[in-house]
Amino acid sequence: MANDKEMETALKRYEIIAPLLTPDLNEAEKRRIRREILERENLSERTLRRYLAAYQENRYEGLKPSTRSDVGRTKAISEKTLERAAELKRELPERSVRRIIRILEGEGTVKKGGISRSTLARHLLRLGLGTKELKAERITAGGVRRFVRQGRNTLWQSDIKYGPYIPTNGGKKKRTYLVAFIDDATRLVCHGEFYDNQRLPILEDCFRKAILKYGKPDQVYVDNGKVFISRWFRIACAKLGIRHLNTKAYSPESKGKIERFNGTANEFIQEIALEKPKNLDELNRKFRIWLDEGYNNSPHSSLKSDTPFYAYSSDPKKVRFATPEECREAFLWEETRKVDKTGCFKLDGIEYEAGIDLINRRIDVRYDPFDQNLVEVWHNGEHKKTVAPLAVGEFCGRKEKRQTTITATHSRLLKVYEEENSKRIKQRMGALSFKDMKGGNDNV
């Protein structure tokens, strides 16, 4: 069933092993990464191997825990303790969690054995204070402001930029937002689109369209903003075998390629102001033309005057393509619902029919947040059906009841009577035979 803790556990495990899943690593690099993971995460070699084997066997689903082994354990850390631990980590990024706990115990901040390494490591990582993250931060602060990944689809970057206002049906104006994904090595914008609603998963929608066009990146580098670290985006990355990276908040150095593209996109925003698009479709239609002609197929200064599209097309690195079905499944949202006594359930205020066989049961519903016309119904890990919203006036349960009716070929009641009658006759025949043996007469 849809279990938040199970999904978060699987996601955490994927993010631990993700560096080892990077294509084309040599043995020396793998050994170095393994050592870093074991030090940072306080895992045993055996546990790390188990995670890798589970992922190789069943991808993201294989990383979900089969049983809970931590029920009843205290996981809380006081804010004061966490602040001190964070201070000790920032002071010396190479300082391991084991050493930090030793210092905390020595200072009297915590009692000896009062905090586990795995718990503290998890909290520090959540705060962006992993050893690797802090080392990267120090390099950035030291003035290394430019880097280029070799090979197309090795790394994509993404960001959200404020777009122009468009008119609404009520005569008011509505803000738009530009989401784009750029390939780090070739500067190709794999997909870019304007949206008028940040409440919807616009990042996931744009990412899915980019993948369908140009394949899966090995890594995706995004901001620390809420929309970029949503659970559903991270789960989609895990299901597709893509490593999800976060930048330091408000750090333009760490996402320089997409920032520079956003600056170039100002050209379009200035020009489109003269056109005054009437709606979002018109804005995006004109943007697609500009992106194709004004950027992807225009000479780029950092590519020795080659175009981003030419640089991408001529790159020898193999592309990992994703099928439309694989992409659709990866980006589905999942919620748990309880089927009511009429066999129905609601999702975002829309009513669907699960069927009378699922009455009073908890089900998982998987759906595309941009299109809820078809919703998958799952129960106990099994796909039961795909349903559409109920039309006004439909009655939950009625249609399903007709479907579960069995066409009878004979009367079961009469068959029971027939069998009982046969037994009764045999009993009578036995009684008559016994009477004959005793020499009785017919006057019984």
Residues 442 and 362 in one domain: no
**SS3 (DSSP) at 194:** strand
Residues 67 and 111 in one domain: yes
Last residue of a domain, one of 284, 303, 326: 326
pLDDT at 79: 82
Q: Which residue has the higher pLDDT, 415 or 167?
A: 167
Residues 137 and 161 in one domain: no
Residues 383 and 440 in one domain: no
Within a domain: residue 150?
Answer: no
Residues 132 and 162 in one domain: no
Please say whether the beta carbons of 257 and 217 come within 8 A: no
Burial class (CB in 10 A: 0-12, 13-18, 19+), 213: exposed
- For 304-341, what is each residue's pLDDT tens digit? 889 999 999 999 999 999 999 999 999 999 899 999 99
Within a domain: residue 149?
Answer: no
pLDDT band at 176 (very low <50, low <70, confident <90, very high): very high
Is the pLDDT score of 402 beyond 50? no
- For 203-248, what is each residue's pLDDT tens digit? 999 999 999 999 999 999 887 666 666 788 888 999 999 998 876 5
Question: What's the mean pLDDT in 344-357?
Answer: 92
Which sign does the torsion angle of CA 368, 242, 10, 160 carry? negative
CATH of the domain at 215: 3.30.420.10
Residues 297 and 180 in one domain: yes
Within a domain: residue 268?
Answer: yes
pLDDT band at 47 (very low <50, low <70, confident <90, very high): confident
Residues 288 and 277 in one domain: yes
Last residue of a domain, one of 114, 141, 168: 141
Alpha helices in 241-347 (DSSP H): 256-275, 280-290, 308-314, 324-330
Within a domain: residue 129?
Answer: yes
Residues 201 and 270 in one domain: yes
Within a domain: residue 148?
Answer: no
Burial class (CB in 10 A: 0-12, 13-18, 19+), 63: buried
Phi-psi region of 59 (alpha: psi -120 to 50; beta: other; left: phi over 0): left
Last residue of a domain, one of 94, 114, 141: 141
Sequence-separated (6 or more) residues with CB below 8 Å from residue 399: 353
- For 252-284, what is each residue's pLDDT tens digit? 555 788 999 999 999 999 999 888 899 999 999
Residues 246 and 179 in one domain: yes
Residues 295 and 204 in one domain: yes
> Residue 180 is part of which domain span?
155-326
The overall average pLDDT reported for the chain is 81
- For 116-153, what is each residue's pLDDT tens digit? 888 888 888 877 777 655 555 444 444 444 455 679 99
Residues 295 and 218 in one domain: yes
Phi-psi region of 325 (alpha: psi -120 to 50; beta: other; left: phi over 0): alpha
Is the pLDDT score of 287 beyond 50? yes
Interatomic CA distance for residues 210 and 219, integer angstroms? 14
pLDDT at 207: 96
pLDDT at 432: 55
Residues 352 and 389 in one domain: yes
Interatomic CA distance for residues 345 and 335, integer angstroms? 12
When divided into structural domains, the chain yields a total of 4
Within a domain: residue 70?
Answer: yes
Joined together, the tokens standing for residue 158 give 């993404």
Residue closest to 58 by CA, chosen among 420, 311, 385, 381: 381
Interatomic CA distance for residues 365 and 362, integer angstroms? 10
